[in-house]
Structure 1
């Protein structure tokens, strides 16, 4: 999964219950558009360019895999939902809600409908002061100045004062109360993608399986009988080494650890791929290693039906995976369920995501986070 875009939005209102409207808009953005990582304080400032009630303004930082143009389409729908109708009429006017894209990473975007960074951001205190609260590493790609430097030269001398705080709906989740989360699933279930998103959004250290470096994997898909045992042995050794090293190395700048695998998957796959004699030997070696590995505080199993798995495998386009038979995937799924049934000592959360897409649909991602929260509340 590619690194997520970091987009800053400015949100304002000068009609009705301004604070409530802004809060509701942020809640809707988090649930329907993108993950709200941080929220500024709430500011009040005079209307800009016309006479009206003062505006309330804040800024939010969102993470998303979507482009800025896609986000624009979605925030226009949010505006409409809260009573804002954009027209071609020139000039400023009162509005129930106003959402503008201020920046997207450090990119310059010029199109018919979108200009990023916002062309007037450096001239407006009600944009810069809230953006400064977010403490991003934003550097204006044209002027080369950071937000603090833009504030020192801002020509806006109007009053812009803090009046309240705004709640970040995303921070309601308690996921960072875990120390170690392992995300598991069949081939193509989306475990690595979810691990990336959670790590990026919650400041977690990632442990990602190094399957791409395994020289036996392409050979295994061509000749399973010959290469199954060396493949599973090499995976076991690598997983043990990686988890041992990464869990032993504390990162003071990260809140917890999220991995896209649990070492028990080695036994699940080996049972399906190697012969009975080989599996007996493999299991003895595995049990010695398994005792030494710390167990996750939460084990998440992403279930997807076989048809969906095959679609995902085809979509991601790894040549050596394209001939994987459905029967093989079904055996792997069954192996995971057998593991889950026989390990009541683990805190296991099974999520059926067969009808969900937590990359394209923000609501599906929020559903997963809420289910993780529920699992925590049960402990």
Structure 2
């Protein structure tokens, strides 16, 4: 089993229900062990859309990185995300990103691990810091807490969920 970190986001429909449904649909291939509090955040790249709810999961999986990517894309499609024609960074009922896959560092056109935009996203780093602040980025040797302290906009993400991470 490999420890993975996944970021979830939703800005269409019942956002909180979408986050919960995505967690249920990830199982049993992905066994969630820890869930961050939920944050509300303004959209980052395409700003003319509703605010997002975001969270991060720590999980265990026996899936390889490509199989995990396929699985999360299947979950997104099942939940109504347009994976072929929707605008990049546009509104979506669910978005699931693989942040880390163990200590793996890989670069492929369809999959980069760790996630290539992780270091610029306060909406990912804030919930990730809640559950794994000491986690080291294997490609740049910086902790999640250090990356969060350096990212602009960290004061614009608002925790709306429980004050503490939830052990699943």
TM-score, normalised with respect to structure 1: 0.41
State whether structure 2 residue 131 is matched by structure 1 residue 130: no
Alpha-carbon deviation of 1:90?
Answer: 5.6
Contact 2:123 2:154 in 1 (8 A): no
Q: Contact 2:130/2:165 (CA < 8 Å) preserved in 1? A: no
Deviations 1:38-73, CA, capped at 9 Å, x for gaps: 000000000111211100000001111221111110
Distance 1:135 1:141 in 2: 14
RMSD, matched Cα: 2.1
Aligned 8 A contact 2:134 2:145 in 1: no
Measure the CA separation in 1 of the matches of 2:155 and 2:93. Answer: 22
Task: Tell me, yes or no, if structure 1 residue 44 matches structure 2 residue 40.
Answer: yes
- Determine the C-alpha separation between the residues in 2 that align with 1:46 and 1:30: 29
Structure 1: give runs of 5+ residues left out of the alignment.
172-379
Alpha-carbon deviation of 1:27? Answer: 1.4
Runs of 4+ in 1 over 3 A off after TM superposition: 88-91, 165-168
Say which SS state the counterpart of residue 47 (structure 1) adopts: coil
Partner of 2:148: 151
Q: Aligned runs of 1:276-315 on 2, under 5 Å?
A: none
Is the partner of 1:61 in helix, strand or coil?
Answer: strand
Distance 2:155 2:88 in 1: 19
Q: Give distance in 1, aligned partners of 2:136 and 2:153.
A: 20
Which among 69, 87, 102 is matched to residue 105 of structure 1? 102
1:12-161 matches, within 5 Å, as 12-31=9-28, 33-50=29-46, 51-87=48-84, 91-135=88-132, 137-157=134-154, 159-161=156-158
Residues 136 and 37 of structure 1: CA distance in aligned 2, closer, same or farther (over 3 Å): farther
Residue pair 1:123, 1:156 contacting (<8 A) in 2 also: no
What residue in structure 2 maps to residue 252 of structure 1? none
TM-fit CA distance, 1:12: 0.3
Cα contact 1:105–1:138 (8 A) shared by 2: no
Structure with higher helix content: 1
Question: Which structure has the larger Rg over C-alpha atoms?
Answer: 1
1:167 is displaced (CA, Å) by 9.4
